[in-house]
Each structure stands twice: as structure tokens, then as C-alpha cells.
Structure 1
Amino acid sequence: MSKVKYYYDSENLAYKRIKPQRRKKFGYAFLFLLSSALFGFLCLILLINTPYFETPKDKLLTGELEAMKLNYKLLTKQLELMDEVLKAIEERDNNIYRIYFNTTPISNEERKSGFGGVNRYKSLEGYNNSDLVINTTKKVDQLTKELVIQSKSLDEIVVLAKQKEKLLAAIPAIQPVKNEDLKRMASGYGYRSDPFTKIRKFHYGMDFTAPSGTPIYATGDGVVLKADNSLSGYGNHIEVSHGYGYVTLYAHLSKYNCRPGQKVRRGDIIGYVGSTGRSEAPHLHYEVIKNGEKVNPINFYYGSISAEEYIAISNLATQENQSLD
């Protein structure tokens, strides 16, 4: 019940009751209702923006977000596991398979190279989690590329395995001159004194001293590339291509026993020792070239000499003496 208010009438010297105006009553009621509505609206906004009040839709979205976070963690772990397994396969590929089959390992730069050209991930930009999505997509793309490279490498290894017998027959694996025919192993691979200028320079082959006319043997299966004197200083020489990146050269021959284009097998007589070209005495200058690089021939005699003979010839080859060419 509302309070009754009075005022003092000084003329009549009496208290009179104040009659409230009807318009003011409506104004007060409107203000009350308006303030109540504003207060209710503010409370609703606060409740909506607090974690203590969720609509069914909010709860559904929250559950989906948590599930996505869990799936992302699982995906990340799977990608890390795939990366570890792939690295292990790449390690075996480079350091076991390719070494066993004597082929060039795949460089890390080739395996890890990125994707050039236009921005492949432009369509993923502009979202709340764009960085996360782009980084994950990049990881997947990188793993996919590495898997493709590794798959091709293993295909190549399979082919090499099928050709293993041919590979073993092609690798230069014997001395080009038999031990019983040798006077001595005159000079090895490395820095030696030039017999004509006496200047110290690098000697890229091995010199086998033997009488003129001593047979020279092909050190592996292959095809004769040259049998001429086209290289300056080498005199009459033969080049044999063995495939798999191997080429052997036999220089200062007295005569040939083969012709260009002819197929030869390991142990075939392809020529005879001489002293043609830039040579101080009858001997065979022998070189092994692997993928265009001249390498030490002493590493390729495992098919014709014993361990004791290898140690002896290795000691002679390392002596820095004078070469014969």
C-alpha cells in the first residue's frame, strides 16, 4: 500500500492530503519497467559471456572443438612417427643399400627441397587458425614428397638387386697385370716426382713394371670405348666402359688385342705392355674412373690377390717415389 502524503495549509491552518497526479503515476511505472528491462538485458549479456551459462548449441560447439584438438594432437603424433620411420628408411637407403650396390646416395638437399613457384597455401589464409592449418598441410606435403622420392629410390634398389650379378662382374676387381709377370709395382696413386721434369705432381693411376709384350687383362666386364693414341702423353691406350659409372684406362701399350665397340669380360687379354707415349720404361699405367672422377685403383684388386699381397702392394703404392710417366 502506498504511503499517504500531506501538506500544511497555512491559510486554513490545517493539514491536507496530497492527491498524486495520474500522469506522474504512469511515468513512474514506465521508468520502473524500462529500468527493469535494461537490468534484465545486461544480466542476460553477462550470463551469455560467462562460462557458467551455455546454451545447448554452445555445448555442442565446445565438444566439437575439444574433439578437433584431440584429433590434431593425434595427427601431429602420427606425422612425427611417419617422419621418424621415413628417416630410418632413408638412413638405410643411403648408408646400406646404396653403398652395397655401389651407387650414389640421395643428398639431404634433394630429399628436403621445398616447393617453389606460386603460394600453394593461399586458399588457407584468412582464417582464425590459418597458421596451424598451413603448417600442418606443409608437413603433410613434405612427407608426401619424401615418400615419393624414397619410393623411386627403392624401385631403383630393386633394379640394382636384380642386376647385382652384372654389377659384380662389371666392377674392376683384378690387377691388369698378373703378379708373376711383374718386375715391380713402380708407382702408386698420389703425389709423385715426374721422371722428366722432376717436379712433384699428382699421379692419378698405378704403374706396373713388366717386360714389353706382357699381357694386359680387362679388370671387369665392359665395352671398349677407345683403342688408340688420342690422349696426349698416354701413347697407345685403351678405355673400357664397365657401366654403373666405371671406366678403366690402360696406357703406354705396345699393341692392342681389342677394338672399339668390342665387348670384353674380366680376365680377357685386351693389349700388351709397352713404352709408347710419355713413358720412361716399359710399364702399364692403369687408372680407374668412377662417375667421372679418378679414384685409387688399389681399392679394386680384391678379386685377384690375397690379404697379404694387398698389404704388400699397398705399402709399395704409398711410397712417394718417381713415376714412370
Structure 2
Amino acid sequence: MAKVKYYYDSENLAYKKIKTRKRIKFGYAVLFLVASSLFGFLVFVLLINTSYFETPKDRLQAREIENLQLQYSILNKKMDEIDAVAEAIEDRDDNIYRVYFNKTEIPDSIRKSGFRDIKRYKDLEGYNNSKLVLTTTKRIDKLSKQLAVQSKSLDEILKLAGAKGNLLLAIPAIQPVQNENLRRVASGFGYRTDPFTKVRKMHNGMDFAANTGAPIYATGDGVVVRADNAASGFGNHIVIRHGFGYESLYAHLSKYNCKPGQRVKRGDIIGYVGSTGRSEGPHCHYEVHKDGQVVNPLNFYYGNISAVEYVAISHLANLENQSLD
């Protein structure tokens, strides 16, 4: 039974019954129903997001997600093993194969670079397992690129192996002046004192002092590309292009025994010792270039000298004395 409420009427000095309007009662009833509906809806939302109301379809999807997570985990472990194998192959490639064929190693910036396109993985973002999927996808892409670089490198090595015989003949592997004609190794590769300015500067080759007219030999098979005196300081000089990135230069000759365009073999006499150009005495200034860069000729003398002779020449060449040009 509803409670009856009263109020005190001070004018009539009496208590009177409070009468609630039907409109207000109806408003209260509507407000109660709306509040109840909202509360029920919130409870429903909370319940359907718990395991209490998990449907068979939800359970199936949950198992599929767990299975995918397991498969990604197994895939990442397999990629760890592939990474180890790839690194071993790369190490052999850089430190054995490429060294054997005298090729520079491939830097990590090329071998292990990923993809810089930030939009490449945009479609994989925004999901519950995005981090796992993104990490795995990036690893696969990076590994694929590594394998592509390694495959290209091995193709290059395979071509070099097929041309190994020609490569061995092309490498400048002997002294340009034979020991019986050699007075001394006057100067080696590195910083030396200039005979004219007395200033210490880089000497890009080796100076072989010998009598004027002593024969000068081609140090490897190749084609004569220059036999002139047009280069400043070198006087009469010869340049032989051997292929595989190698070139050799012979300067200060008294005369030539070859001409541009002529193919020569290692051991052929190409000219004779002299003192033309910027020279302080009869000698052959000899340089070796690899891929456009000067390198120390001393590293290539394995074709016609013994180990004892090599040690002796190495000692003389490394003395920081005065060059002859």
C-alpha cells in the first residue's frame, strides 16, 4: 500500500493530504523504465564480453587465434635458424670466396637493409596481434632481401670461378725488372721524401733502380692502352689494362717495345729503363691500380721471387727514404 503524505497548512492550521499529479507519476515511471533499460543494456554488454556467454563460434575463433600465435612463434624460431645459416654463408662469402677472387666484401648496410617504405606494412596495423604479425613480416622481408643479395653475390663468384684461369694470368704478379738487372729497390709504396721539393708526400708505386736500357717486363696479361709521354712527370710511360679491374703503369722509360692496342703476356718485354720525365736517375716507377684505386704493388709479387727474396724486397720497400721521382 502506497504511503500517504501530508503537509501543514499554516493558514487553516491543519494537515492536508499531498496529491501527486498523474503527469508527474507518469514521468517517474518513464524515467524508471529508461534507467532500467540502460542498466540492463550495460550489464548485457559486459556479460557478452566475458566467457560466460561465449558462443561456439567465439570459442572456435579463440582456438584459431591461439593456433596462429603458436604458428608465428614456430615460424620465428625457424627464422632464427635460417638467420644463423645465412650469416655463416655471408661470412664464408666475404672472408673466403670474395677474398680468393680479390673482390671487396659486401657491407652490412646492403646485406641487411630492410624496406624503407613506411606504408608497406600499414594494412597490418590496428589489430590485437599486429605487433607479432608486423615483426614476423618484417623479418621475412629482411631475410628475403638478404638471400637475394647473397644469390647475386654467388652468381658473381660463379662467373669469376669460370674465368679463374684468365684472372690468374691478368693479376700483375711479377716484378717489372728482373733481379739480375736490379741495382736496388730505391723506394716503396707510401709516404716518401720528394727528391726535388724535399717534401714528404704520397708515393703511389715502387721505384726499381737499374741501368739505362735494362728490360721492363709486363707483369700480367693485358692490352696496352697507353705508350706515350703525355702524362705530367712520368716521361715515357706505358699503361696496361689487364681486366678484372687491374691496370699497371711503367714510367720513365728510355724507349718502348710495344704500342697502344697491342695485347701482351706476362713476361713480355714492353720497354726499357730510362730517366725521362721527372726523374732523378735511371729507374722504373711501377704502379698497380685496382678498380681505379692505387694499391701496393708489393702485395702481388708471387710469380717470380722466393720467400726470402720477398722478405728482402719488403724490408727495402718499407723504408721511408727518398723516392727517385
TM-score of the aligned structures, taking structure 1 as reference length: 0.83
SS in structure 1 of the partner of residue 284 of structure 2: strand
Residue in structure 1 matched with residue 27 of structure 2 by the alignment: none
Letter in 2 for 1:130: S
Residue in structure 2 matched with residue 170 of structure 1 by the alignment: 170
* CA separation of 1:50 and 1:130: change in aligned 2, threshold 3 A: closer
* CA separation of 1:116 and 1:65: change in aligned 2, threshold 3 A: closer
* CA separation of 1:151 and 1:198: change in aligned 2, threshold 3 A: same
Give the Å deviation of 1:54: 4.3
Give the Å deviation of 1:239: 0.6
Give the Å deviation of 1:129: 2.6
Letter in 2 for 1:132: L
Q: Please tell me whether the aligned partners of residues 222 and 264 of structure 1 are also in contact (alpha carbons under 8 angstroms).
A: yes
Matches within 5 A, 1:294-313: 294-313=294-313
Residue in structure 2 matched with residue 224 of structure 1 by the alignment: 224
Q: Please tell me whether the aligned partners of residues 223 and 263 of structure 1 are also in contact (alpha carbons under 8 angstroms).
A: yes
SS in structure 2 of the partner of residue 137 of structure 1: helix
Give the Å deviation of 1:124: 2.3
Letter in 2 for 1:141: D
Matches within 5 A, 1:66-215: 66-117=66-117, 119-215=119-215
Question: Deviation string for 1:162-211 (max 9, x for gaps)?
Answer: 11111111111100010001111111112222222222222111111111
SS in structure 2 of the partner of residue 230 of structure 1: coil
Distance 2:122 2:58 in 1: 31
SS in structure 2 of the partner of residue 302 of structure 1: coil
* CA separation of 1:127 and 1:53: change in aligned 2, threshold 3 A: closer
Q: Please tell me whether the aligned partners of residues 228 and 238 of structure 1 are also in contact (alpha carbons under 8 angstroms).
A: yes
Q: Please tell me whether the aligned partners of residues 256 and 272 of structure 1 are also in contact (alpha carbons under 8 angstroms).
A: yes
Distance 1:107 1:46 in 2: 56
Give the Å deviation of 1:116: 3.8
SS in structure 1 of the partner of residue 90 of structure 2: helix
Residue in structure 2 matched with residue 276 of structure 1 by the alignment: 276
Q: Which has the larger radius of gyration?
A: 1
Residue in structure 1 matched with residue 29 of structure 2 by the alignment: none
Q: Please tell me whether the aligned partners of residues 103 and 244 of structure 1 are also in contact (alpha carbons under 8 angstroms).
A: no
Residue in structure 1 matched with residue 234 of structure 2 by the alignment: 234
SS in structure 1 of the partner of residue 120 of structure 2: coil
Question: Deviation string for 1:259-307 (max 9, x for gaps)?
Answer: 1111111111111111100111111000111122211111111111000
RMSD: 2.4
Question: How many equivalent residue pairs?
Answer: 290
Letter in 2 for 1:235: G
Distance 1:141 1:44 in 2: 44
SS in structure 1 of the partner of residue 289 of structure 2: strand
SS in structure 2 of the partner of residue 223 of structure 1: strand
Moved more, 167-176 or 200-209: 200-209
Share of identical aligned residues, percent?
A: 67
* CA separation of 1:131 and 1:42: change in aligned 2, threshold 3 A: closer
Letter in 2 for 1:168: L
Letter in 1 for 2:76: T
Distance 1:43 1:129 in 2: 28
Give the Å deviation of 1:71: 0.6
Residue in structure 2 matched with residue 9 of structure 1 by the alignment: none
SS in structure 1 of the partner of residue 168 of structure 2: helix
Q: Please tell me whether the aligned partners of residues 239 and 248 of structure 1 are also in contact (alpha carbons under 8 angstroms).
A: yes
* CA separation of 1:223 and 1:50: change in aligned 2, threshold 3 A: same
Unaligned runs of 5+ in 1: 1-33
Give the Å deviation of 1:65: 2.0
SS in structure 2 of the partner of residue 260 of structure 1: coil
Give the Å deviation of 1:87: 1.3
Distance 1:300 1:292 in 2: 17
Residue in structure 1 matched with residue 57 of structure 2 by the alignment: 57
Could you list the structure 1 runs, at least 4 aligned residues long, displaced by more than 3 angstroms after superposition.
Answer: 40-55
Distance 2:193 2:46 in 1: 94
Distance 1:50 1:118 in 2: 37
Give the Å deviation of 1:59: 2.8
Q: Please tell me whether the aligned partners of residues 249 and 288 of structure 1 are also in contact (alpha carbons under 8 angstroms).
A: yes
Letter in 2 for 1:290: K
Give the Å deviation of 1:320: 1.8
Q: Please tell me whether the aligned partners of residues 72 and 136 of structure 2 are also in contact (alpha carbons under 8 angstroms).
A: no
* CA separation of 1:306 and 1:49: change in aligned 2, threshold 3 A: same
Give the Å deviation of 1:134: 2.4
* CA separation of 1:46 and 1:129: change in aligned 2, threshold 3 A: closer
Matches within 5 A, 1:13-32: none
SS in structure 1 of the partner of residue 208 of structure 2: strand
SS in structure 2 of the partner of residue 311 of structure 1: helix
Distance 2:42 2:268 in 1: 101
